[in-house]
Structure 1
Amino acid sequence: MFNLTMRPLIKTEIREFLKIAVPLASAQVAQSATGFFDTVMMGRMGADVLAAGGLAAIIFLVVMTTATGMVMGASPLIAEAFGAGQKTQIQQIARQGLWLAGLVAIPVMIVMGHFDRWMIHAGQPEATVRLAGTYLDIILWGMFPVVGFATLRATVSALSHARPVMTIMVTGTAFNIVGNYILGFGKFGFPQMGLAGLAVASVIAQWGMFVALALHILVHPKLKDYHIFQELHRLRPRVLWQLVWVGVPIGIFSGLEAGFFMVIMFWMGTLGTEALAAHQIVLQTIVIIFMVPLGISYATTVRVGQWLGRRDVAGIQRAAGVSIIISTAFMMIVSTAVLLFPRQVIGIYLDLQDPDNTAVIALALPLLVIAAIAQILDGFQKAVYGSLQGLQDTQVPMMVNVFVYWGFGLSVAYVLCFPLGMGGRGLWIGQSVTIAVAAGLFIWRLRHLLLRRQLRCS
């Protein structure tokens, strides 16, 4: 499928790919560090806070992932226009992307404000819902800057200017972590706000990152020539529809994928507070690791999209092949490390010597082993999906997602957990099988599209 015999071209592709992938992956890891430190701080506040905070965090993750995914159509569209040298098209897509960000954020904020009722109906303990609801009622005010930042990030990345994204996100994350500590535990004269403090610090950081990236675009010598923030009052339905057509399936895909894991977390919550806390430890660990292939997938979308704009099928193949190899190799290395040192990983979150944590640790260990193995396939899957996005093939993967995750995956996880009595291990095995099936279908789809383009060009 991938022609890897032309070494100079491959070396060039690796170099250009890493110029985008390293900053984006670093930015994603930095952003996930907020969730990591949040989890550590929640664990120090008690198992009940860890359970409630983990529940609120996964809900916000699902909503945020869906909302930001809906504006991610800007990335392949701008990358294609950049590859084709169409400056006017780049300007219009970026501006309409900001329109779409606003249109997405407002209804999402309204929905988030009513999640507490849904959590009660889902069978979560009232005390857990009360704590989680407090967090969500505050964090929803950061939704617009999160979606707006995603739009601007997609724009500058597609123009091969990814490094500022890393700098801004690393700085914003550092501020967020410090703010979480100060407001969460009441340091330096501030009141002790607990989970509410973590949410307030996050909202401030999200607005700061959005404004910082906007200012960077306004002053950068090359980026300011695109005049992205001029004529924002002009609504262009045709361009907006292009963004919706490509981006909304990405948002639905991302939301369904994250929603799948949220359902798993709800089912885990029915097994008890210890099971939910163990699940949160493993999930947060995997989320941090997964940020690297996620950043790689963003870079893949850009590189494949740029080659698509040049109508170069061989370039598309090289970009996809380089991405898949790098992403899978990275996940194999990290997963091996997790398998070798599982107790040390859990010790980051909990005191291993505290007798009160014995039950949570015993539940978390087998889950971490299962999750580490599954992440190798997940890294492969994400790279392939990034290639499909670059080809602007988003509708078919969305439908595959509905079938695999919400049809097949949830059924397998439920049966293993409850009727077969495997508990949390059954849920994580079900997740792993789901990822494997999705990876197989996505690589089949990518091979099909590349073969079709080869035949068209021959």
Structure 2
Amino acid sequence: MVQLSSKSNTQTEIKEILRLSIPLASAQIAQAATGFVDTVMMGWLGQETLAAGGLAATILTTLLVTATGVIFAVSPAIAEAFGGGNRKKISQITVQGFWLCVAIAIPVMFLINYISPLMLQFGQNSKVVSIAKIYFDVMLWGFFPALTFAMLKSVISSLSQVRPIIIIVVIGTLFNAAGNYVLGFGKLGFPVMGLSGLALASVLSQWLMLFFLIIYILKQTELRKYQLFQNLYQFEPKILQEIVSIGIPIGISLAFEVGLFSVTTYLMGLLGTDILAAHLIVFQSIAIIFMVPLGISFATTIRVGFWKGQNDAIVYSRCASLIALRRSAYISMILGGGFMIIMAIFLLIFSRQVISLYLDIHNPENTRVISLAIPMFVVASISQILDGVQTTAAGALRGLKDTRIPMLLSFVAFWGFGLGSGYLLAFKFGLDGVGLWIGQAIGVATSAGVFIWRFRQLAATNFARK
């Protein structure tokens, strides 16, 4: 039995979380940069293309994040098996995760193909919808590789193989940026493809990243001992049921959170194209920054799941495992919130410079969009501090495989408090886009509070009984 001093344990845990978080957060930033680059180049193609393409990208992101949430259940399951030294189960979980990707991707691709008529039914401008359809028709072919890449990334991250992820994602991001420029604007002899060219470059980059990750898994010596692709055609109902039972609540929880932002984007569209364009600038900028605490939350899930596996296998004393588990969670929350405080200060000081990445701030035609975006940045910056805490707290709960109650709490927080207050502030009190952003902030604050409360309850009761 290992006994370490409190100071030594804390220092070790910070190092372990940072060792996992830095590559994972970097990979998330690089991946989010794909959407960032797409959005910037959409702005170069014009305000209407920015509004339509940004709206389409937001819908696709919602679908992908929801599906990825279901698949992400492999992470705590493998982290726990890794902590308990169960190699066979690690391989079984990976294989079932792959087939779950196939089962999810096929119906979602059909759904993407028929989203445009639904947008018209919900009151979106017909011209915006027709432009968005161009993006949908190409991007649906990137859904399966993106989902499978996310699943395999979760697998090797849970096995503490995180460094290659950032390399692969950076390669994919650079390929996407170059492809956007070449295909979207007709360079190097290619025809000008506009929005469809941006989408095609994104799809090709998703397949490229998946190909490189599979090659790495097959060639890397440490990973080969887990035989992750062995018995690829073997169906394990019990393990698949475990993944699905954990994953569906995670997916629904993320759908509640991302869905709040998607519905907010839809409501922004009802308020006008200028407000929608301003919102998309703020949203896309915040989305990239959010990738850092999201990466920390992935590391939190892995560390908490690992300590849970150690606890179940009685590698350490149960008391020591509980202390380590709590320490992992609270350190992550501090790191997530602290980073977002720094980013909030940055955005408040340099909001106009950030806007200039998307639009020419000296062009009089963009004056209204800029004036609308600046107050949105103020509210969004403050809300992201709370978002940094709530997403890491959610990661700690996933590490404990606690997903159903957080799913219900997410619904109340994001759709009850968040969307309800945002709608009232925007449409009843005349605050327009700023009111919707305030509503999102209220939803995030509520979720942060209830997730921390839930984690404290579980840590104090479930482990104390063992």
Q: TM-score range by the shorter chain?
A: over 0.9
2:452 to 443, 446, 455: 443
From 417, 422, 426, the equivalent of 2:431 is: 422
Q: Whole-Å Cα distance in 2 between the matches of residues 372 and 406 of structure 1?
A: 21
Contact 1:53/1:195 (8 A) holds in 2: yes
In the alignment, structure 1 segments of 5+ residues that lack a partner are none
- Summarize deviations over 1:183-221 as a string: whole Å, max 9, x none: 111111111111101110111110111111111110000
Q: Does 1:370 align with 2:360?
A: no
Report the equivalent of 2:352: 343
Structure 1 outlier segments of 4+, above 4 Å: none
1: CA distance between counterparts of 2:306 and 2:449? 25
Query: Retained in 2: the 8 A contact 1:186–1:192?
Result: yes
Identity between Structure 1 and Structure 2 (%): 50
Return the alpha-carbon distance in structure 2 between the equivalents of residues 452 and 130 of structure 1. 54
Q: What is the identity, as a one-letter code, of the residue corresponding to 1:413? A: G
Residue 407 of structure 1, CA deviation:
2.4
Which moved further from structure 2: 340-349 or 51-60?
340-349
- Cα distance in 1 for partners of 2:342, 2:271 equals 32
For 2:247 and 2:463, locate their aligned partners in 1 and report how far apart those are by CA, in whole Å: 26
More deviation, 248-257/306-315: 248-257
**Superposed, which structure 2 residues align to 1:13-412 within 5 Å?**
13-311=13-311, 312-412=321-421
Aligned mates of 1:309, 1:162 — CA distance in 2: 20
Q: CA deviation at 1:322?
A: 1.4
In 2, the alpha carbon distance for the partners of 1:269 and 1:151 equals: 33
Q: Determine the C-alpha separation between the residues in 1 that align with 2:295 and 2:99.
A: 24
CA deviations on 1:121-177 (whole Å, 9 max, x unpaired) are: 111100100111110111011111111111101100000001111111111111011
1:18, distance to aligned residue in structure 2 (A) = 1.2
Aligned-residue offset at 1:455? 2.3
Structure 1 residue 5: deviation in Å? 7.8
1:10 aligns with 2:19: no
The superposition leaves residues 215-235 of structure 1 with CA deviations (integer Å, 9 ceiling, x where unpaired) of 111000010111111211110
Structure 1 residue identity aligned to 2:326: Q
How many equivalent pairs are there?
454
Q: Secondary structure at the match of 2:229?
A: coil
Residue 454 of structure 1: CA displacement? Answer: 4.3
Structure 2 CA distance for aligned equivalents of residues 69 and 412 of structure 1 = 26
SS at match of 1:226: coil
Larger deviation, residues 407-416 vs 123-132: 407-416
C-alpha separation in 2, matches of 1:454 and 1:398: 22
Tell me if structure 2 keeps the 8 A contact 1:313–1:453: no
| CA deviation string 1:253-284 (max 9, x = no partner) | 11221111111011100111111100000001
TM-score by length of 2: 0.96
- What is the rounded CA distance, in whole Å, between the counterparts of 2:436 and 2:180 in structure 1? 31
Return 5+ residue gaps in structure 2 as ranges. Answer: 312-320
Q: 2:417·2:442 contact (CA, 8 Å) conserved in 1?
A: no
CA distance in 1, matches of 2:463, 2:236: 34
- SS for the counterpart of 1:352 is coil
CA RMSD after TM alignment: 1.1
Question: Secondary structure at 1:215's aligned position in 2?
Answer: helix
**Offset at residue 16 of structure 1 (A):** 1.3
SS of residue matched to 1:456: coil
> Does the CA-based 8 Å contact 2:71-2:97 persist in structure 1?
yes
Range that drifts further, 342-351 or 138-147: 342-351
> Aligned equivalents of 2:295 and 2:192: distance in 1?
35
**Conserved 8 A contact 1:297-1:385:** yes
